Structure 1
Amino acid sequence: MAELNNRDTNNLNTAPEPAPGEEFDAASKSLSEALNVSFVILKVIMIVLVVAFLASGFKTVDSDEQAIVLRFGKIRGVGENRLLDPGAHWILPYPIDEIIKIPVKTKVNLAINSFWYFQTKEDMLSNAKPRVRPGMGLRPLLDGYCLTRSEKGAGATAGSDGSDYNIVHTKWQLTYQIDDPERFFRRIHVRDVTPGDDYFDVITGDDGVKPLLEDMFEDAVVTAMVNYTIDEAISSRDRIPRHIERLLQGKLDAIESGIKVVSVQMTRSEPPPHTSDAFEASIMASQASQKAVTEAKTYAENTLNETAGPVAERLFESLYDETVSEQEKEFLWSDLGGTARERVADAQAYQARVVETAKANADYLERLLPEYRLRPKLVIQKIYLDAMERIFANANETFVVQTTDDAKGTELRVLVNRDPSLKPKKRTTQAGQ
């Protein structure tokens, strides 16, 4: 048994070795299979990379945005096709094409505080006015301010020596939006957007349009404010902002900025703190003066309307205007109203009554004339008694004095109007009747 085992072992150890050509063919086959697998994996990776590269060209434009496509740095497209509307779009991937999204419907608020006086952080938090020390005035290196024209009018500005100007501190808020993305991209310098930056924050920040808008806004404020008085600057909340809005929009349009000014608001306006007491006193005096003038004008208008109606002024002027014809004057007289109209009507009625009374008296005397020629004394006595009857009928009190033949005569003492309520009572009774 031992010999058989040894013989088998020797047979295994002395097995025939493969030929050199056969060993090379097996290695080549293994290498070929490995290379084939590698090429397949590489193709898959390349396909995935190509798909990912092409897929990176799909871009989405939000509803409040419009986009510009840059191809090698130049705007792609012609006419309306240069802008991409909201929605999904495909462009050639970067670095061939690059998309710039610009918010065109977003309204941006920009606070302008460069015309306000200096405030510490404590003053800003407490919203308190700065403490005014004796002798403290304007600090040009710290305080911002605007110059307003004098009260004498705009004509005094050119020949003024500077003493007629007034100083006012103001705060503003500018609201704007981008309405032409292409012009904005071409004309407004914005730093390159780095990864992680929001383009909207970049274009509206210190590295975008903010410094330009601040400079243009300040220039518009300085240009506009010299056309208004300090009272107008303090009280106006619409007129001055509209003026500044027109000036600023004109400047932005001149450089084709693509920016639209939505609104300009003056959020605060105050005189210099060291003159606030005097200014408030001046404002109160001015308001009192304006109130007195307004009341006087109102009284005059009411008086004229009550006196003669709406045509009072024209009628008064026509009386002293020789160019006004009599026909026009008659037409104005016909439109007369108010108390003057009532007095004219009363005068006309009185005239008619006087004429009618005169006619009645004339007819009465004509009827008495034949009787008077026959018995003149009796007719005169009758007329006298009728007149006395009318007189006594209107008298409040009647005194009958009997004549005497005494040489001394009769002494009569009468307390005139001894009962003050008697006459008003009688008038009241007559009025009631």
Structure 2
Amino acid sequence: MNKVYDIKEVLPTPRWVKLIPPIAVAVVVILLLISGFYTVDSGEEAVVLRFGKHVETVTTSGLKWKLPLVDRVEKVKVSEVKRLEFGFRTVKEGADAQYRDVPAEALMLTGDENLINVETIVQYRIVDIEKFLFEVTRGEDALRVAAEATIRRVIANHPMDAALTEDKLSIQQEIKDDLQKIIDGYNLGITITAVQLQDVFPPAEVNDAFKDVASAREDRASFINQAETYANEIIPRARGNAAEAINKAMAYKEQRIAQAHGDVALFNSMLAEYRQGKGVTRTRLYLEMMEDILPGIQIYIVDEDGSTVKWLPLQGGGSN
């Protein structure tokens, strides 16, 4: 009768086979430990959730570790400036960028009850990861709703002309400030970095009329610029002419004053001579006056009785 042998009795089990279970357990443990490592990049922050509960916030970059199978990590780029688009969507970025209009978001009512299309960009950054993830469900959705409501309210408080041209910058700042107050009240952990009215334009149905108005505004601005240019040219010239006239008047004034002083001095000297010899002085003054009145004429002087004629050299060139 054939004897049946157990293979284990015939071939003894190698010693290394007994090491397989503990090695396998060790490998699994090592893999689990390795799976607990994660990295936080520069500009990122992370929160660690243990069974869904927040247990840690990581604000520094580098290699970190969490409990495998128990902990879950959510990362947020806190240094990245994100943007929300209203009235349009960017389909393709780059040099050949493409956009898609969203008329329902763009159409708004102004303070003077005109319809206008407003395409807006809101830029924001996450500054408090805990508030952003845990205070409000879907924080970015809450921000979008608050931003659209704020844009519509601010536009409704301003006339159409202000939104089109005059007060764009102040409207952007007003939207930014009001929106920041709202999201601070919601504890979203977000800061608004910029609000830009990307494009503001009237509806297509009244676009031609608005173009005429815009053209009239441009003409008005052109006329104002021309007038200012002319004023800048003519005013300095007029001021120069005025200064020249004033200088001439001052010179004439000084001349007349000097002449008056000279006349006074002459009169005083003549008065002194007159007091010394009234007859002689009167005769000399008379002869000088006659010489001025009758230039180039021979003048004869005769005494009172007419008997004696005296020839006086009253003129140059030998005239008597």
Q: What TM-score does the superposition give when structure 2 sets the normalisation length?
A: 0.71
Give unmatched runs, 5+ long, in structure 2.
Answer: 90-96, 275-279, 297-320
2:248 to 346, 361, 364: 346
> What SS does the aligned partner of 1:76 have?
strand
- Superposition pairs for residues 197-276 of structure 1, below 5 Å? 209=140, 211-235=141-165, 238-276=169-207
- Looking at structure 1, the residues matched to 230 and 68 of structure 2 have their Cα atoms a distance apart, in angstroms, of 79
User: Contact 2:86–2:106 at 8 Å: present in 1 too?
Assistant: no
1:147 to 92, 109, 115: 109
Match of 1:185 in 2: 133
> What SS does the aligned partner of 2:137 have?
coil
Which stretch shows the higher mean deviation, 370-379 or 52-61?
370-379
- Deviation, 1:38, is 6.7
> What SS does the aligned partner of 2:47 have?
strand
Greater strand content: 2
- Looking at structure 2, the residues matched to 245 and 128 of structure 1 have their Cα atoms a distance apart, in angstroms, of 24
Quick one: percent identity of the two aligned structures?
A: 27
- Deviation, 1:184, is 0.9
Q: Does 1:356 align with 2:263?
A: no
Q: Are residues 100 and 365 of structure 1, via their aligned partners in 2, closer, same or farther at CA, if it must alter by over 3 Å?
A: same
- Deviation, 1:92, is 0.8
User: Contact 1:372–1:379 at 8 Å: present in 2 too?
Assistant: no
- Superposition pairs for residues 25-40 of structure 1, below 5 Å? 30=9, 40=19
Give unmatched runs, 5+ long, in structure 1.
Answer: 1-12, 116-124, 130-140, 150-163, 191-207, 309-337, 389-433
- Deviation, 1:170, is 1.7
- Deviation, 1:70, is 1.3
Q: Are residues 106 and 29 of structure 1, via their aligned partners in 2, closer, same or farther at CA, if it must alter by over 3 Å?
A: same
The CA deviation string for residues 365-386 of structure 1, in whole angstroms up to 9 with x for no partner, is 5556645512554222123357
- Looking at structure 2, the residues matched to 306 and 248 of structure 1 have their Cα atoms a distance apart, in angstroms, of 53
Match of 1:88 in 2: 63
- Looking at structure 2, the residues matched to 294 and 229 of structure 1 have their Cα atoms a distance apart, in angstroms, of 25
The CA deviation string for residues 116-135 of structure 1, in whole angstroms up to 9 with x for no partner, is xxxxxxxxx99999xxxxxx
- Looking at structure 2, the residues matched to 251 and 46 of structure 1 have their Cα atoms a distance apart, in angstroms, of 55
User: Contact 2:136–2:186 at 8 Å: present in 1 too?
Assistant: no
Q: What TM-score does the superposition give when structure 1 sets the normalisation length?
A: 0.54
- Looking at structure 2, the residues matched to 385 and 287 of structure 1 have their Cα atoms a distance apart, in angstroms, of 74
Q: Are residues 385 and 353 of structure 1, via their aligned partners in 2, closer, same or farther at CA, if it must alter by over 3 Å?
A: farther
2:291 to 382, 398, 420: 382
Superposed CA RMSD: 3.9
- Superposition pairs for residues 71-82 of structure 1, below 5 Å? 71-77=50-56, 82=57
Q: Does 1:113 align with 2:87?
A: yes
User: Contact 1:144–1:169 at 8 Å: present in 2 too?
Assistant: yes
- Looking at structure 2, the residues matched to 307 and 61 of structure 1 have their Cα atoms a distance apart, in angstroms, of 72
2:78 to 89, 95, 104: 104
Q: Are residues 45 and 38 of structure 1, via their aligned partners in 2, closer, same or farther at CA, if it must alter by over 3 Å?
A: same
Paired residues, what number? 280
- Looking at structure 2, the residues matched to 59 and 348 of structure 1 have their Cα atoms a distance apart, in angstroms, of 91
- Deviation, 1:257, is 0.9
2:31 to 35, 43, 52: 52
> What SS does the aligned partner of 1:51 have?
helix
> What SS does the aligned partner of 1:379 have?
helix
- Deviation, 1:174, is 2.4
1:174 to 97, 102, 122: 122
- Looking at structure 1, the residues matched to 254 and 281 of structure 2 have their Cα atoms a distance apart, in angstroms, of 29
User: Contact 1:182–1:258 at 8 Å: present in 2 too?
Assistant: yes
